[in-house]
Amino acid sequence: MRKKVLVRAPVLTRSGYGEHGRFVLRALRSREDLFEVYVIPVNWGETGWLTSNNEERKWMDERIKATAEYGGNGGQFDISIQVTIPNEWEKMAPINIGVTAGIETTKVAPVWLEKVNMMDKVITISEHSKNSFLNTMYEGANSQTHEKMILKCEKGINVVNYPVKKYENLPDLNLELEYDFNYLAMAQSGPRKNLENTIRWFVEENIDQKVGLVLKTFIKNESKVDRQYTEEMLSSLLSGYPDRKCKIYLLHGEMSDAEIHSLYVHPKIKCMISTTHGEGFGLPLFEAAYSALPVVAPGWSGQCDFLYAPYQGTDAKKKKSKVKQPYFSEVDYTLGPIPEYAVWEGVLQKDSMWCYPQEGSFKMKLRRIRKNYKKWEKRATTLQKWILENFEEELIYKKFIDNIVDKEEKKSDVDAWLRELDLDIVESS
């Protein structure tokens, strides 16, 4: 008998958590023999909503309607999967599973630990996110007995990364790029992404170079008003460099997944760059990496799960080593406290830390990529091959399913399904 699984997530938004929620739905759909899926969509900040009308969107709309009808008639669910920040997790079914991108810093908020300990299972997106939970501890005392109390993570946390996506018939974006060598930066403007420094340091390093930076960004949403704000921010930032030869190209507004992917494989876009302070996973960096686009980024936080890989050369001793090698251009960094203006009550702790990429190192990496591109192109191709083999959709979907259904429970469900088909079950010896 199929289990009724309720997924609560911002699946209709163009946010990172929206994509995370859609991944969960795809994983569940890969085992329709085990699960009957129900969906509750939620908002996510000020991000835009999906406007696509493809098969996946039609299926989600149908499941949302079915959920309203089933729940409205008192229907019960076997499992809830909640894809949000932990603050929002609740007990909604006999088994409750929290799925989160975690935090981009070294420490999670106390309420996150409380919510983790409340859930039956927790799945996060990277080893960095997992360690942020496991390495956080708060000490306190009972207000009445004054007995010492320790708040820490008491649940096992499993890691399931994103899978690669495959595209066919990519659209032609008709980008009018003046130069043949262009970098790509893709991030929402804000404290964590450190986008202003990315732009500023790029211009200063390439002020007399015939290169470009394609900038896919927005401030809060992708409206016309937001575009005006973004253009004003960019104009103010560039006003101090009136004689620069390098070009900045702003891409603003909604782009489909296929259109975004077209950026990674565009013949005039040669490198993905980032000075991020931290990532739960780093989806744009991941997409660039499995598209064989060289990457310049700090070697810290979520992106380490896919930018480092086992040795891929011919040296037998190195092949036996379990130490992973960097297949990207590593920007040096230091760890330091997050700034006061980045503190987010209940999410980003004022006493947590993130990475601060070093200006000189970033500029040097841009220069080396430009001057020795063939080397980095080859390294990116090697990384691509490893990612495609180890982050393939079916492999990641299976890993997710294995993490939400216990082995014996899954076997029992499959056996019941086979009996419904009136098939003999042969026990293995």
Q: Tell me whether residue 73 is exposed, middle or buried, using C-beta atoms within 10 angstroms of its C-beta: 0 to 12, 13 to 18, 19 or more.
A: exposed
| Residue pLDDT, tens place only, 385-416 | 999 999 999 999 999 999 998 765 555 555 55
For residue 318, the model assigns a pLDDT of 83
* pLDDT of amino acid 47: 76
Both tokens assigned to 75: 């229907």
Positions in the chain whose pLDDT score sits under 70: 407-429
Q: What is the pLDDT of residue 144?
A: 77
What per-residue confidence (pLDDT) applies to 428? Answer: 42
Q: Domains of the chain, with CATH numbers?
A: 3-160+394-419 (3.40.50), 182-390 (3.40.50.2000)
Helix (H, G, I), strand (E, B) or coil at 106: coil
The per-residue pLDDT for 400 is: 97
Give pLDDT, residue 425.
46
Q: Are 16 and 45 in contact (CB under 8 A)?
A: no
pTM of the model: 0.91
pLDDT digits (tens, 9 = 90+) for 92-141: 999 999 999 999 999 999 999 999 999 999 999 999 999 999 999 999 87
What is the per-residue pLDDT for 20? Answer: 96
Measured between its terminal Cα atoms, the distance across the chain in Å is 26
74: three-class secondary structure by DSSP: coil
CA 97 to CA 110: how far, in whole Å? 19
C-beta neighbour count of 26 within 10 angstroms: 16
